[in-house]
Structure 1
Amino acid sequence: MPTPAATFDPATASIAVVTFNRSALLARLLESITLMDPKPGHVVIVDNASSDDTTEVVGSFRERLGTELVYRRLETNTGGSGGFSEGVRIAYELGSQWIWLMDDDVEVISDGLAKMGRWAPRFKSIQGRRYDYDGSEFYWQYRIAERMGIPIPFAPASFDASGFKPMNSGCFEGMFIHRDIVAQIGLPDPRFFIYWDDQLYGWLASRRTPSVIVDEFVLRRTREIKQWDMGVRHMNASSNAYRYYIMRNRAIIKRYYRSLGVYNPVLFGLGTALTFAKELIRLVFVERTLRGTSNLWRGLKDGRAIARDRDWAPMPALVDTPTP
């Protein structure tokens, strides 16, 4: 059972949301925040240069959200990773002790912050559970095979009496992280643009503190995604942009691994090959096509330039900390 929440103050938490041209989904998320009890001290919305009515939608909630709303509209679309990097930066500079990250295609369960707060005195990197679009339990791959840098698809879904399971990954659809860990590992890396950024960030956090997924349903997904149902597990549809960044960004992970002394060329190469194969399976069984494979090859090619970049460096810590 979690430690009692007497030491957790909801006002010290900020929700950081990234959005792009999905004002209807964002409105649904903001509506759910109006119903939260308790509410966070701040809601930070990072708008990736949306061309729809996102600014007007945000403005319509400013007086009735029930907490301080901070809106930052970027000049260009920096992708999910750039948005979350900016969201974490803003929340950190606001003095937030806890930062709760989420996409715009979820809504918050009304007592979700209280549920997360029950675990806050015990852990500093926490992931809650989510309901899927249809109300079913959403399974997330919370463990990675570290040396290969890929999720473990058969990690157990059930919880024991402790109510939590160790994780070494992360998901920006619900990551709940303490500022002390952000200070040590730095901001999320905006160079990913999309894909792998949250997995790497969660992995970096797990190197600094015990990280857990807890048996608490705190979010509900509000966007239906085409998927291949495999029972407990499922495989979502993708896009050409995702396919490109899935392969290109393996090079960024490799650079982090090298900088931290955990890179194994054989095992990491195997992880890259398995990732490529998985995307081929996704094309065939989810999207019923083989068109799009060129984006996988192009991502691998562009990743080589990242691997050769002599000026590349990991995101810096926000404070000086000893190496673990």
Structure 2
Amino acid sequence: MYQITKDAGQQMSRTAVLTVHYNSIEDTKRCADSLSVLRDIPLLVVVDNSSQESNVENALVGYPNLEIIRSGENLGFGRGNNLGIRWILSNTDCEFIFLLNNDAIVKPDTIALLEEAMDAFPEAGIVSPRIVFMENPNLLWYGGGSINWYRGKGKVPGYLGPADTKSARTHREGTFISGCAMFIRRTVLEQVGGFDPRFFMYEEDLELCLRVQKAGWGLRYVAEPKVLHKVQASKREEGDVYLSPRDPRNPSLPFFMYHMTKNRLLNMYMHARGMNALRFLIGFSLFLVMDCVRYALAGRWDALVSASEGFASFVSGRNQVCVTDVEKTFIDT
């Protein structure tokens, strides 16, 4: 199913960094370069998600503590990470696993500060740094998050606003952490498993957050450590202008609408109860109608077709059993 290229050193830090690579070698190299200058260079596990590129090893040859895992097929974000998590849990004793998008880079003190936060808040199962746009670090991409039950998605106060507001500078608990930079306790993953394999891309991070909280763990945003994120790098070429996934001009809009529709419905079907379920039914229906009108006016009929296909996929697969036991979740089937 997959191939491992063994190249890791024997010295292990407290944290292993895991990133999923897909046809964006310059981004992955930039990410690795930012880790290589840290005082304690962490183990870096790269899952090559069946990229068309064949030079991953050559591009990362200078990194001193490296594992490359070849998936053999494009597993998507969640299952790709599960493959790396499985290897880390089986082959290392690290305390923390830092899930980091390959189009992101860390500041020199980021990992040390996240480790300090975990030590200071033992009830926290996942912590996250402040995330800013790589192309404009003054803009906030993530500064703490909560669940928007009306939309069935994560909500980030101050998103696309100034990155240095009082809210962005404030440590706090939350209910949503972005999969772009998830710093997770090993014991949490051993307890609840990894990402739900039914989520190819989008909303898998929210589902994991909900499951972690149901298991009794907290989520916490830590303001001091920073990550710079290129954003949607796997969906655009170097130098292209960033477009929101929902933008009618986005060439990948059908892909987004399919997975967003299916995964939000599946997520809320599993986790929303009582008033939260009612909020979602009302809000999601309203916003979906608004999206359909917007895309019809823009001539994006392909997006409407994809949304209907996503709904059909949810209906047909909503009652499939997802095994969350750690030994079974990470088996890629």
Alignment check: 8 A CA contact 1:100 1:175 kept:
yes
Matched, 1:294 2:314: no
Shift of 1:235: 11
In the other structure, the counterpart of 2:317 is 306
In the other structure, the counterpart of 2:324 is 315
Match of 2:279 among 267, 271, 288: 267
Aligned sequence identity (%): 18
Which segments of 5 or more consecutive residues in structure 2 lack a partner in the other structure? 1-10, 234-239, 329-333
Alignment check: 8 A CA contact 1:17 1:44 kept:
yes
In the other structure, the counterpart of 2:48 is 47
Partner SS, residue 177 of structure 2: coil
Which digits, 9 at most, give the CA deviation of each residue in 1:169-191, with x for residues without a partner?
12121100101111221111122
Q: State the aligned residue count.
A: 295
C-alpha spacing 1:295/1:87, structure 2 compared with 1 (3 Å): same
Matched, 1:101 2:111: no
In the other structure, the counterpart of 2:173 is 166
Shift of 1:262: 6.5
In the alignment, the residues of structure 2 paired with residue 84 and residue 236 of structure 1 have an alpha-carbon distance, to the nearest angstrom, of 29
Shift of 1:159: 4.3
Alignment check: 8 A CA contact 1:169 1:200 kept:
no
Match of 1:227 among 243, 247, 257: 243
In the alignment, the residues of structure 2 paired with residue 30 and residue 282 of structure 1 have an alpha-carbon distance, to the nearest angstrom, of 40
Shift of 1:83: 0.8
Partner SS, residue 39 of structure 1: coil
**Matching residue's letter, 2:257:** R
| TM-score, scaled relative to structure 1 | 0.79
**Matching residue's letter, 1:219:** V
Which segments of 5 or more consecutive residues in structure 1 lack a partner in the other structure? 1-8, 229-233, 320-324
In the other structure, the counterpart of 2:208 is 201
In the other structure, the counterpart of 1:249 is 263
In the other structure, the counterpart of 1:125 is 126
Match of 1:110 among 105, 108, 111: 108
| TM-score, scaled relative to structure 2 | 0.77
C-alpha spacing 1:241/1:113, structure 2 compared with 1 (3 Å): same
**Matching residue's letter, 2:78:** S
Shift of 1:45: 0.6
Matched, 1:75 2:63: no
In the other structure, the counterpart of 1:5 is none
C-alpha spacing 1:61/1:45, structure 2 compared with 1 (3 Å): same
In the other structure, the counterpart of 1:3 is none
Shift of 1:282: 7.8
Shift of 1:59: 3.9
C-alpha spacing 1:57/1:318, structure 2 compared with 1 (3 Å): closer
Alignment check: 8 A CA contact 1:251 1:306 kept:
no
Alignment check: 8 A CA contact 1:167 1:206 kept:
no
Partner SS, residue 127 of structure 2: strand
In the other structure, the counterpart of 2:226 is 218
Shift of 1:147: 7.6
C-alpha spacing 1:220/1:305, structure 2 compared with 1 (3 Å): same
**Matching residue's letter, 2:74:** N
In the other structure, the counterpart of 2:22 is 20
C-alpha spacing 1:99/1:82, structure 2 compared with 1 (3 Å): same
C-alpha spacing 1:289/1:14, structure 2 compared with 1 (3 Å): farther
Shift of 1:284: 8.4
**Matching residue's letter, 2:116:** R
Which digits, 9 at most, give the CA deviation of each residue in 1:79-98, with x for residues without a partner?
11111121222222223210
In the alignment, the residues of structure 1 paired with residue 327 and residue 172 of structure 2 have an alpha-carbon distance, to the nearest angstrom, of 28
**Matching residue's letter, 1:227:** L
Superposed structure 1 runs of 4+ greater than 4 Å apart:
153-162, 234-238, 261-265, 277-285
In the alignment, the residues of structure 1 paired with residue 306 and residue 285 of structure 2 have an alpha-carbon distance, to the nearest angstrom, of 15
Alignment check: 8 A CA contact 1:169 1:199 kept:
yes
C-alpha spacing 1:210/1:69, structure 2 compared with 1 (3 Å): same
Shift of 1:152: 3.4
Alignment check: 8 A CA contact 2:18 2:81 kept:
yes
Alignment check: 8 A CA contact 2:19 2:101 kept:
yes
Shift of 1:39: 2.2
Partner SS, residue 249 of structure 1: helix
In the other structure, the counterpart of 1:322 is none
Alignment check: 8 A CA contact 1:227 1:235 kept:
no
